[in-house]
């Protein structure tokens, strides 16, 4: 099942600085509605990135290098990443309950520690106004904390009712009806469901998006030849068996239900899109009408039923982002398969919602998360709970966080850096020798219209609807509160379907330690969470901020012109604004970037140049742009590059790295530093890099 109201599951089109690589199946399921882009649902309920690391002070690369004299000194000419970060990384230890350590993880932990204080202090108050941010945070936290209540409540009212209806279904038609209704109510699907997104060709208009089939894991993991990924697959199958037993099946039945579910999931995964295809509108923007869905699903889904349940019309357009996956799901919808499908539907829901239910389900999921990501210990219960609460009530917690921890002056200061980057980018477009004036005019128009968002939104999604979560003393249960949030979000989406897309809402929460470009709103979003040292510090040198947040800003702006961003115009609409010849040149340059990275590997794991191309273009463009600013202003370029290398310092467990290389569209940290700098002529000159040096690359690809 997919929680359609979660951004992380959904919004493949938003290009962030780094992906959430948690194996937490409940938060980061693979697949979903990649073709629809940003939806209102995502904006209302957003899951914060669960990243790794733990706060242990503010030691930076330089300090660590000074302290660690015995650390082996690697030459800057051979491995710049290691030369700058080696001592720091050596001083880092990955905590037993983490799968990696990086500045992103460390800052994320700091955010969560502050959030824990806020949440705990709110939960001690007694006379909060019903429906306020504080009252909802308190209710969700206390019901989550109430383990006795969770064990007694089991699956909760709404989910138990759904399971009973699934068990009682006597035909595929009946099973489809209860599944579709559950998706309409809570935005969660496995067989089939409809959600709301914004249209690719007119990003101001909301459109229906049809999703079918939950493959459980992504195909890159199901069919990976990497040992750590294969281990993750067996652990996933083990998890499904445990959940079956919790549902009341005998060991033998559990085996059978799991085998059947795995068979369905793997066969769906085979037909699902690859990670790079998710970002290709040619693959995902498939427009049908509601009536035509019936034929797409081989007559197994009734258009009338869809119209009745979702309150839509037969001629309404609907985007099907994964057509082959939908057909594959449809092929299972036979009366003969009914018992098998019932098991699959319940198992998908249990896998998705188990973390919010009884403690046996929670433990099963937690153990899976720990083992699949190579952690030695599972994260403490209360820490996971804080993470979940601040993810599930992301904007409620975000508003509280920003009031206490974010200085509004930061917004003005960072906007100043952004306008400097944009103005240099303008100039660089002017100087391109491969682009015609006509396309340059379009590119500059798009650049000039980028919506710059810094810190937190002015409008908060929770002010647009009513939510009243119940605390334990009022009979509240964690799982029911969770589903109530989902219901309110889904109802709001369907109630406002005829209204234009509200671009004042942001897809991600302000406390998230990340930044992203959203092609459908042509916006860069530099969130409050990342506006901390070492990325940004008002007291740091101009070089440190330029190498830190400056390169992040350059990266996000370049996303407007990577192989995906370049398909969208200044309004965020899918429109070809290129001359045919310029487009050909652009593609040829992108191919050079693909082959440049394709030759690289990390610990024997090969980089997929195609899968990582959009991010690599953004990395290359961002650093080129910042190099030019440093050059023109007479800044110390060495310090800029050192700061750039420092922000990417990272240490990973093998399981994490295997998963990253298999499914992440970003290159691993070491490559983000070395490959990018090796392609800069100024870097080569600065460090006298020559053939034979590790940092020497024959090709030096660059587009922007």
Residues engaged in binding Zn ion (CB under 5 A): 15, 615, 618
Looking at the Cβ atoms of 386 and 618, the one nearer to Zn ion is 618
- Among residues 156 and 668, whose Cβ is nearest to Zn ion? 668
Q: Which CB sits closer to Zn ion, 559 or 651?
A: 559
SS (H, E, C) 412-455: HHHHHHHHHHHHHHHHHHHHCCCCCHHHHHHHHHHHHCCEEEEE
Nearer to Zn ion, 387 or 520 (CB): 520
Please answer whether residues 47 and 392 qualify as being in contact, where contact means their C-beta atoms are separated by less than 8 angstroms: yes
Residue 204 CB-density burial (10 A; 0-12 exposed, 13-18 middle, 19+ buried): middle
Select 258 or 611, whichever has its Cβ closest to Zn ion. Answer: 611
- What is the H or E stretch that residue 2 is in? strand 2-3
Strands (E), 73-160: 100-102
Q: Which is nearer to Zn ion, 567 or 618 (CB)?
A: 618
User: How far apart are CB 15 and Zn ion at their closest, in Å?
Assistant: 5
Provide the minimum distance between the beta carbon of 321 and Zn ion in the complex, in angstroms, as a whole number. 21
- Scanning the structure block, which residue is given the tokens 């899976």? 368
How far, in Å, CA of 524 to CA of 562, rounded?
14
Instruction: Tell me the closest approach of the beta carbon of residue 621 to Zn ion, in angstroms.
Output: 10
Instruction: Judge whether 486 and 475 are in contact, CB under 8 Å.
Output: no
Tell me the longest C-alpha to C-alpha distance in the chain: 75
* Least distance (Å) between residue 645 CB and Zn ion: 18
Distance, CA of 397 to CA of 172 (rounded, Å): 42
Q: How far is the CB of 42 from Zn ion (least distance, A)?
A: 18
Nearest-5° Cα angle at 687, 681 to 688? 80
Q: How far is the CB of 676 from Zn ion (least distance, A)?
A: 12
Structure tokens at 523: 């916006």
Considering the complex, what minimum distance in angstroms separates the CB of residue 563 from Zn ion? 12
Q: How far is the CB of 558 from Zn ion (least distance, A)?
A: 8
What is the Rg, in whole angstroms, of the alpha carbon atoms belonging to the chain? 25
* Cα–Cα distance measured from residue 500 to residue 416, given in angstroms and rounded to the nearest whole number: 31
Nearer to Zn ion, 358 or 615 (CB): 615
**659 CA to centre of own chain:** 14
C-alpha distances out from residue 631 to 319, 418, 425, 428, 624, Å: 47, 17, 14, 14, 11
* 411 HSE (CA, 13 A, CB side): 15
Q: How far is the CB of 555 from Zn ion (least distance, A)?
A: 6
590 alpha carbon, distance to own chain's centre: 24
Three-state DSSP at 211 gives strand
Candidates 182, 192, 21; CA nearest to 108 is 21
For tokens 């379907």, what's the residue?
497
Cβ distance to Zn ion smaller for residue 29 or 519: 519
Task: Give the span between the Cα atoms of 515 and 14, in whole angstroms.
Answer: 10
Contact assessment for residue 510 and residue 457, using Cβ atoms and an 8 Å cutoff: yes
Looking at the DSSP bridge assignments, the partners of residue 101 are: 651
Give CA–CA dist 405/105, Å, rounded: 18
To Zn ion, the closest distance from the beta carbon of 422 in angstroms equals 17
Nearest approach, Cβ of residue 664 and Zn ion (Å): 11
CB of residue 615 to Zn ion, shortest distance in Å: 5
List all residues 6 or more positions away from 456 whose beta carbon is below 8 Å from its beta carbon: 398, 399, 402, 406, 510, 527, 528
Smallest distance from the beta carbon of 115 to Zn ion, in angstroms? Answer: 25
């Amino acid at each position: 099942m997919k929680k359609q109201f979660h951004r992380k599951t959904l919004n493949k089109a938003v290009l962030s600085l780094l992906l959430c690589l948690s194996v937490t199946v409940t938060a980061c399921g693979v697949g979903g509605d990649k073709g629809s882009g940003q939806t209102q649902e995502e904006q209302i309920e957003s899951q914060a990135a669960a990243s790794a690391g733990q706060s242990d002070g503010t030691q930076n690369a330089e300090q660590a290098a000074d302290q660690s004299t015995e650390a082996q000194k690697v030459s800057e000419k051979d491995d710049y990443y290691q030369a700058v970060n080696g001592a720091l990384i050596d001083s880092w230890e990955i905590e037993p309950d983490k799968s990696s350590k990086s500045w992103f993880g460390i800052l994320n932990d700091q955010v969560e520690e502050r959030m824990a204080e806020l949440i705990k202090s709110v939960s001690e108050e007694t006379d909060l106004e019903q429906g306020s941010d504080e009252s909802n945070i308190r209710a969700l936290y206390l019901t989550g904390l109430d383990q006795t209540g969770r064990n007694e409540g089991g699956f909760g009212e709404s989910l138990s009712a759904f399971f009973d209806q699934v068990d009682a279904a006597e035909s595929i038609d009946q099973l489809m009806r209860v599944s579709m209704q559950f998706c309409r109510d809570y935005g969660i699907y496995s067989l089939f469901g409809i959600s709301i997104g914004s249209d690719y060709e007119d990003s101001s208009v909301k459109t229906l998006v049809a999703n079918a089939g939950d493959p459980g894991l992504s195909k890159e993991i199901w069919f990976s030849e990497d040992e750590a990924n294969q281990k993750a697959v067996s652990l996933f199958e083990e998890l499904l068996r445990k959940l079956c037993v919790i549902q009341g099946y005998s060991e033998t039945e559990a085996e059978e239900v799991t085998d059947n579910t795995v068979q369905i999931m793997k066969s769906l995964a085979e037909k699902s899109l690859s990670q790079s295809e998710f970002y290709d509108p040619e693959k995902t923007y498939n427009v049908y009408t509601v009536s035509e869905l019936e034929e797409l699903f081989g007559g197994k889904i009734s258009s009338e039923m869809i119209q009745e349940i979702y309150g839509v019309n037969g001629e309404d357009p609907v985007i099907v982002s994964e057509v082959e996956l939908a057909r594959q799901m449809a092929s299972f919808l036979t009366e003969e398969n009914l018992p098998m499908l019932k098991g699959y539907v319940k198992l998908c829901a249990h896998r998705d919602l188990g973390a919010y239910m009884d403690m046996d389900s929670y433990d099963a999921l937690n153990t899976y998360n720990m083992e699949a990501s190579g952690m030695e210990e599972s994260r403490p219960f209360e820490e996971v709970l804080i993470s979940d609460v601040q993810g599930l009530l992301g904007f409620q917690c975000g508003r509280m966080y920003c009031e206490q921890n974010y200085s509004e002056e930061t917004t003005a200061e960072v906007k100043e850096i952004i306008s400097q980057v944009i103005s240099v980018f303008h100039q660089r477009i002017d100087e391109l020798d491969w682009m015609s004036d006509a396309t340059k005019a379009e590119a500059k128009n798009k650049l000039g219209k980028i919506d710059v968002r810094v810190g937190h939104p002015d409008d908060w999604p929770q002010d647009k609807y009513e939510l009243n979560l119940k605390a334990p003393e009022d009979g509240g249960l964690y799982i029911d509160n969770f589903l109530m949030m989902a219901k309110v979000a889904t109802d709001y989406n369907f109630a406002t379907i005829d209204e234009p897309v509200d671009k004042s809402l942001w897809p991600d929460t302000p406390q998230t330690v990340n930044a992203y470009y959203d092609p459908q709103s042509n916006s860069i979003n530099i969130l409050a969470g990342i506006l901390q040292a070492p990325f940004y510090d008002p007291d740091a040198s101009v070089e440190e901020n330029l190498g830190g947040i400056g390169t992040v800003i350059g990266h996000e702006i370049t996303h407007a012109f990577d192989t995906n961003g370049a398909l969208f115009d200044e309004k965020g609409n899918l429109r070809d604004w290129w001359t045919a010849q310029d487009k050909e040149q652009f593609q040829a340059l992108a191919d050079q970037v693909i082959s440049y990275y394709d030759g690289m590997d990390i610990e024997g794991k090969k980089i997929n140049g195609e899968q990582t191309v959009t991010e690599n273009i953004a990395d290359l463009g961002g650093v080129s742009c910042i190099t030019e600013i440093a050059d023109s202003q007479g800044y110390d370029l060495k310090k800029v590059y050192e700061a750039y290398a420092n922000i990417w310092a990272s240490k990973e467990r093998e399981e994490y790295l295997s998963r990253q290389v298999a499914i992440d569209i970003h290159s691993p940290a070491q490559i983000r530093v070395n490959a990018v700098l090796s392609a800069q002529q100024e870097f080569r000159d600065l460090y006298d890099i020559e053939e034979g040096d590790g940092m020497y690359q024959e090709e030096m690809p660059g587009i922007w």
